[in-house]
Amino acid sequence: MSSFSIEKDQFGGITILEKTFDDTHLFENNLKDSLTQWKKDGITVVWIKIPQTNGDIIPIVLNLGFDFHHCNGNILVLVKKLLMDTPIPSFASHHIGAGGVVTNSKNELLVVSEKYRSTKKAFFKLPGGIIQLNETIEEGVQREIFEETGINAIFEHMVCFRHQQKYRFGMPDIYFVCKLSATSTDISKQDSEIDECIWIPIQKYIDSPEISDFNRAIVQLATTMNGWNYTKKERDDGRKYEFFSPKFLEK
């Protein structure tokens, strides 16, 4: 019987739950014995999470046939197949971001010029950024808009999304474009990231030769179409769900 605390999953695998490993020699012997027993018990896969403070056991785990899977903050996750044909899911494969088409009662659009950009020439784009862990798209885009511009805004609907390959660290990106209405007007830009932030008439922005075809297209979509219905739900276990669906004409 293993001396480790474990958690079984629905795929026949287990995760070792220990958060610290003090005695490396004892750990190595216990892990060897446990792997032998788990294989006899029909366990398919073993996962182990190693905190940065226990980095000295990484060579031991690798020597016992584990492979690197991913790193999440200060935790390194390794995995070992006990049944060779068992599929191992890859770690998260995409970045998720969101940008906001924010308008006010004067028919103006909120735009920013970033301090760190891919071109030398400044240009105006939509406020937005990366959705953080445990945020919904609604929460993330509202937070990014407020951080960059100081503007509070109400989420109205989803406009569209874009999928781009090789965005950051060689990983693809999914970027959601959202329509929001401003509930405040006084701009307070984020000096660390934003060079300039302004309200600009929507048509003036669309007509400008200085903006990208992508930004022009999505602002036109956001200001002339109804977008997708938005529904947010939360399960009993605290997990949040967002549903986006096309709006259908009433018969």
pLDDT digits (tens, 9 = 90+) for 124-156: 999 999 999 889 999 999 999 999 999 999 999
Summary mean pLDDT of the chain: 89
pLDDT for 229: 81
Nearest to 131 by CA among 92, 176, 170: 176
- Is the distance from CB of 131 to CB of 140 less than 8 angstroms? yes
Q: How far apart are the first and last CA of the chain?
A: 65
pLDDT for 248: 62
Residue 250 reports pLDDT greater than 60: no
Q: What are the residue ranges of helices labelled H in 45-136? A: 58-63
Residue 62 reports pLDDT greater than 90: yes
Show the domains of the chain with their CATH numbers: 6-81 (3.40.630.30), 95-246 (3.90.79.10)
pLDDT tens for each residue of 78-134: 999 999 888 888 887 778 899 999 999 999 999 999 887 766 777 899 999 999 988
The percent of residues above 90 in pLDDT, for the chain, comes to 59
Q: For the chain, what percentages of helix, strand and coil (3-state, to nearest 5) are there? A: 25, 40, 40
Weakest mean pLDDT among 92-96, 166-170, 173-177: 166-170
Residue 234 reports pLDDT greater than 60: yes
Residue 41 reports pLDDT greater than 60: yes
What's the average model confidence in pLDDT over 24-28? 88
CB atoms within 10 A of CB 1: 7
